[in-house]
């Protein structure tokens, strides 16, 4: 386009368009490799833990500060070498060999973890271990998201891992759903913490709204390529997060019933999609009104809201509910329930994909939501297992 600040805009848009994704099996395998790397790093390099001595004087404090900085740099370097770098290689140049890594890596991790079992101090049970594993899962999800966002614009990143155009499954398709589920799992609602009123909710989501408008303005001002089939002309990820947060704050549902309400929303939305809404959302025709220009982003809010509500009840059921019996919510307790729930969601995803409607991140249909739940619970399960 003449006068454009980005002469390669059209080529870059084509580079991330009309993609069909990979298979559910490959996603399941990659969801296994990533947490294994984290577990392996923790098992081998758990010695990078420091004990803070008693303070004596300024000289000792200076030495202590230097040691802390050195330990921090060492830990950061080990994290990068054991987690970030291998993960980046598996997502890019080694992507075609990911199936070959799974079994040997599982054997290696199992051997290392078994060898370390004699040291009980490294494997505390109870609620603290649950919290540690959930935190590790959330951090790993963020690392995967960052790596994929940075790598997708390069040819070294396989196109099957980039976001699909209409239907299909890919690694990057799971990003926004995983982010919402990870937040729901430890949200105020899941922890039964009283929510603020809707005015406070709007204020708390104002940073998301500001980020959304900032992204919109910056991409427009530099003529950056934007794939309109993802969210629409003006919509983006931050607006979706803000909308889900506001809806959850306005319509207050007890955590023990939020999953039921979320499933009802998802089933109703899927019924709407199957009776003509999917044709409208996937068509390239857009009107002049704001709804038509951002139809994908606006209508998919229903799917993401349902996903969030299901995540709230899962968090309440698995980690925060019935505080009188919290002492019994151990790693063993979590393993059984998370493995069962993850398996159920995988089976439901396959059935929905084959007999109802194929997985579609663009519309956030029911099959996509169950895929996100199955994959994220599988990652969480890998931490609990080891």
CA distance readout (Å), 272 to 34, 112, 266: 36, 50, 10
Dihedral angle, C-alpha 163, 167, 169, 171, nearest 10 °: 10
pLDDT of 220-277, one tens digit each?
A: 887 776 777 888 889 999 999 999 998 998 888 999 999 999 999 999 999 999 999 9
Q: What are the residue ranges of helices labelled H in the chain?
A: 9-15, 24-44, 58-79, 85-91, 98-115, 127-151, 174-185, 198-221, 228-231, 237-250, 255-272, 278-282, 290-293, 295-315, 331-355, 366-385
Which of 8-22, 216-230, 238-252, 313-327 has the highest mean predicted lDDT (pLDDT)?
Answer: 238-252
pLDDT band at 185 (very low <50, low <70, confident <90, very high): very high
pLDDT of 135-158, one tens digit each?
A: 889 999 999 999 998 998 888 999
pLDDT at 354 over 80: yes
Which of 64-78, 116-130, 286-300 has the highest mean predicted lDDT (pLDDT)?
Answer: 286-300
Q: Which pLDDT belongs to residue 54?
A: 46
Structure tokens at 71: 């330990």
Contact 177/368 with Cβ under 8 angstroms?
A: yes
Q: Which pLDDT belongs to residue 244?
A: 94
More confident residue, 49 or 317: 317
pLDDT of 186-231, one tens digit each?
A: 998 888 886 666 677 777 888 999 999 999 898 888 777 677 788 8
pLDDT of 273-303, one tens digit each?
A: 999 999 999 988 888 889 999 999 999 999 9
What is the percent of the chain where pLDDT is above 90? Answer: 44
Q: Which pLDDT belongs to residue 297?
A: 92
pLDDT band at 322 (very low <50, low <70, confident <90, very high): low
Q: Which pLDDT belongs to residue 174?
A: 93
pLDDT at 320 over 90: no
Answer left, alpha or beta for residue 332, where phi above 0 means left and psi between -120 and 50 means alpha.
Answer: alpha
Name the nearest CA neighbour of 33 among 79, 71, 88. Answer: 88
Question: Please, what's the b/e burial string for 334-356 (b: 16 or more CB within 10 A of its CB; e: otherwise)?
Answer: beebbbebbeebbebbeebbeee
Taking residue 274's Cβ as centre, other Cβ atoms within 10 Å add up to: 13
pLDDT band at 309 (very low <50, low <70, confident <90, very high): very high
pLDDT at 386 over 80: no
pLDDT of 24-69, one tens digit each?
A: 999 999 888 888 888 888 777 654 444 444 445 555 555 555 567 8
What is the percent of the chain where pLDDT is above 70? Answer: 82
What's the chain's average pLDDT? 83
Taking residue 6's Cβ as centre, other Cβ atoms within 10 Å add up to: 15
Q: What is the average pLDDT across 152-166?
A: 90
CA distance readout (Å), 147 to 151, 282, 310, 347: 6, 28, 27, 29
Contact 331/130 with Cβ under 8 angstroms?
A: yes
Record the pTM.
0.87
């Amino acid at each position: 386009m003449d006068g454009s600040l980005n002469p390669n805009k059209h080529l870059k848009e084509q580079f991330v368009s009309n993609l069909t994704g990979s298979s559910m099996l490959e996603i399941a395998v990659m969801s296994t490799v990533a947490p294994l790397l984290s577990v392996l790093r923790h098992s081998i390099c758990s010695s990078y833990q420091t004990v803070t001595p008693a303070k004596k004087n300024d000289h000792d404090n200076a030495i202590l500060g230097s040691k802390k900085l050195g330990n921090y740099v060492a830990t950061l370097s080990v994290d990068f070498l054991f987690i970030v770098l291998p993960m980046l290689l598996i997502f890019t140049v080694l992507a075609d060999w990911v199936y070959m890594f799974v079994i040997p890596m599982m054997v290696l991790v199992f051997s290392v973890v078994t060898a370390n079992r004699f040291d009980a101090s490294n494997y505390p049970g109870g609620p603290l271990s649950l919290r540690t594993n959930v935190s590790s899962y959330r951090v790993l999800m963020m690392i995967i998201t960052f790596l994929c966002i940075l790598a997708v614009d390069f040819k070294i990143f396989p196109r099957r891992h980039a976001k699909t155009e209409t239907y299909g499954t890919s690694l990057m398709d799971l990003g926004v759903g995983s982010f919402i589920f990870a937040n729901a799992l430890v949200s105020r609602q899941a922890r039964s913490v009283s929510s603020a009123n809707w005015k406070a909710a709007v204020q708390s989501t104002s940073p998301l709204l500001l980020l959304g408008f900032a992204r919109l303005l910056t991409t427009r001002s530099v003529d950056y390529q934007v794939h309109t089939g993802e969210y629409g002309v003006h919509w983006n990820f931050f607006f979706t997060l803000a909308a889900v947060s506001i809806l959850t704050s306005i319509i207050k549902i007890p955590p023990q019933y939020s999953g039921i309400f979320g499933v009802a929303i998802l089933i109703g939305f899927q019924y709407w999609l199957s009776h003509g809404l999917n044709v409208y959302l996937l068509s390239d025709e857009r009107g002049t009104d704001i709804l038509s220009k951002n139809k994908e982003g606006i209508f998919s809010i229903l799917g993401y809201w349902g996903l969030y509500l299901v995540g709230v009840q899962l968090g309440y059921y698995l980690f925060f509910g019935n505080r009188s019996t919290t002492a019994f919510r151990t790693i063993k307790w979590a393993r059984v329930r998370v493995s069962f729930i993850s398996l159920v969601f995988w089976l439901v995803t396959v059935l929905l994909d084959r007999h109802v409607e194929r997985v579609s991140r663009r519309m956030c249909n029911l099959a996509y939501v169950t895929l996100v739940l199955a994959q994220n619970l599988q990652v969480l399960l890998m931490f609990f297992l080891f």
